[in-house]
Amino acid sequence: MSEYSFSGLEKAIGYEFRNKELIHEALSHSSYANEKKKQRQSNERLEFLGDSVLSVVVSQYLFTHYQDLPEGELTKIRAALVCEKSLHKFALKIRLGDYLLLGKGEEHTGGRERPSILADAFEAVIAAVYLDGGLEAARTHILHFIPKNIPEKRSMLFGDYKTALQEVIQKNPEEKVDYKLIEESGPDHSKTFVVEVCLNSNVIGKGIGKSKKEAEQMAAQEALALMGYEEA
C-alpha cells in the first residue's frame, strides 16, 4: 500500500480512512487485480455493496424531504440519481479517475475516463466509506452529491432539457423560446442536425445531434448551463 497515496481523494470527499486497504480495494479495477493475480482483490464486491448503500440513503432522503411526492415520482427520481450517467458525473466532480488502479490494457484504451468504470468505482468508494466509518459516514458522503430543490430540477435529472428550459422561462410569461434548424448534413442514414434555441430572437444555445430532437435537447442543455442551471 505504501506505493500509493489516496490523500488527495480523501480530501476531495472529506473523509479519511482508518483502514487504507479499503480505499485501495475500492479503486482496484478488475484489470489491475488480474495483473496482480492473488495479491489484489478487484472492487467488484465493494461495488455490489455500495449500490445497496446508495439506494438506501437516497431512498430515505427522498422519502423524508419530499413528502408531497407520490411513490412513482420518488422511484423515477431515485433511478435518475443512481443511474450510471449521474454516478459518472459525481465521480468527475472528485476526479475519481485520477486515482483508479487499472491494468495496462485498460489504461491504454481510455479506461480512466470510461463512464461505466468511474460509476462502478464511485459505488465501491461508498462501500469503503460505509465499512470504514458506518452508515452515517456513508450518508454524509453520498448527500454531498445530491442536488437541492430536486422537484425544480426533475426535468434535468431525466435528461429532458427542453422541458427544464421551458420551466425556467415560464417564470417570465412575456419570454418566448423557439428552436431553429440551422444546418442539416450527411447521408440519409447518418444525418447530423444543428439547432439553435432562441429567447425572444436572441440565440442562447446551440446543439448538434443525430436527430432534430437530440439537437434541440443539446441546445437547451447549453442554454441552461449558460443561465447558471447546473445538472445534478
Active site residues: 51, 123
CA distance 198 to 205: 7
Q: How far is CA 204 from the centre of its chain?
A: 25
CA distance 151 to 148: 9
DSSP assignment of the chain: -TT---HHHHHHHT---SSHHHHHHHTB-HHHHHHHGGG---SHHHHHHHHHHHHHHHHHHHHHH-TTS-HHHHHHHHHHHHSHHHHHHHHHHTTGGGG-B--HHHHHTTGGG-HHHHHHHHHHHHHHHHHHH-HHHHHHHHHTSSPSSGGGGHHHHTT-HHHHHHHHHTTSTT--EEEEEEEEES-GGG-EEEEEEEETTEEEEEEEESSHHHHHHHHHHHHHHHTT----
CA distance 104 to 102: 6
Grid cell locating 227: 443561465
